[in-house]
Chains A and B, each alone.
Chain A
């Protein structure tokens, strides 16, 4: 019986879900003991180690036995797969467009001093698109694999075969109904934002190929990176709130309040960044050792220093609108529940 105990423990190690592990182990042990007893009776002798080995060999490898109990034999299941492909297409498209624009800027800015390096820049651009797309693919898969395991199937029935009613096209969604598609998209993009800010901050910069190597000028100064912990905090809060809403599918007064706080905090961070001097890392001096002429360096500096406050203003307006919407919906829910 010693081998059976070890076998059962080995199967238990491969069971990824802890809630029913003890129960499965107990039932498996009981079954194996029954089977062994049955074999011994048929053989007309008492069970021995050889008989145990034969039984366990027939029953199968512990990892394969454990896999038959796994409710999640896939990384991303059929209920999530349509959203996964939709978000993945959007992310890859965004990366291709974004990095193509960056490569284009590099080619234009280095045009006057560029000779045979053109091919290298284009090659590096293409390799950047491929490597960033592969990394983004990994992050999107990771995010969906987490959602797959956090949100119970019973609360997310995309594949439910219910009869489709054309009248549903005319039906307005309930005011407190959480829109799952929007929540998933928000989780994925916030997750990617977190990954870029914390793992690939060099993406927020512009690179130049010279003397067989890449030289890199960050868009932002060190002052910007002091805001990263605060940005991380709001991004994480947003992801947690979205995951919670995916599970409950309904906005409540508490979640509306949390949303208002997150939106207000995001706006406050953007306003503070806007008011912080010298947040842009680009100056004419930054390009001193770069393979571009001083005139192009000045033009680039002017473009970025002009575009930055405009971009921040647009972001603040969008965040202001989002905050106003969140406050309005909070008061609406309070009015409805009175």
Chain B
């Protein structure tokens, strides 16, 4: 493994930690998988499809998301939206994130 690959792996690990929070924050309105992928990408967070789709399923199983199939342009799409349980958890995660950012800024300054 080259140094660049190793660095990329570490950076990927760092990004992986924020995906749950990013996804929950963007699902206040309904999104299907690909539209969510583009929404995250437009804001600078590139997420691999192989990471996002299983994550959406896991968050739904855990009760933080709910989904529904809709037929649009003759194509069925599964729309995800944050659930009541997810809405309860999101502010706590945001607080946790703010704490992490503040702590790391102190450490890295």
Contacts and interface: CB of A to CB of B under 8 A. Distances in A.
Interface of A: 20, 24, 26-28, 30-31, 33-35, 38, 59-60, 64-65, 68-69
A69 B57 contact: yes
Contact of A59 (B32, B49, B51, B78): B49
Interface string B47-65: 0011101100100000000
A69 B76 contact: no
B50 A27 contact: no
Given A28-B53, A30-B78, 6 more contacts: A20-B57, A24-B53, A31-B53, A35-B34, A59-B49, A60-B50
A64 B49 contact: no
Given A26-B76, A27-B78, A69-B57, A34 B50 contact: no
A69 B32 contact: no
Interface in B10-54: 32-35, 49-51, 53-54
B95 interface: no
Given A64-B50, A65-B50, A69-B54, A33 B75 contact: yes
B34 to A, nearest CB: 4
Contacts of A38: 34
Contacts of A64: 50
Residues of B contacting A: mostly: helix
B87 interface: no
Contacts of B49: 31, 59
Nearest to B69: A26
A17 to B, nearest CB: 11
B12 to A, nearest CB: 14
B53 A68 contact: yes
Which residue, of A30, A33, A64, A69, has the highest number of chain B Cβ atoms within 10 A?
Answer: A30
A68 B54 contact: yes
Contact of A34 (B34, B54, B69): B34
A31 B69 CA distance: 13
Given A31-B34, A35-B34, A68 B78 contact: no
A30 B50 contact: no
A20 B35 CA distance: 22
B33 A31 contact: yes
A65 B34 CA distance: 16
A27 B33 contact: yes
A216 to B, nearest CB: 53
Contacts of A28: 53
A217 to B, nearest CB: 57
B11 to A, nearest CB: 20
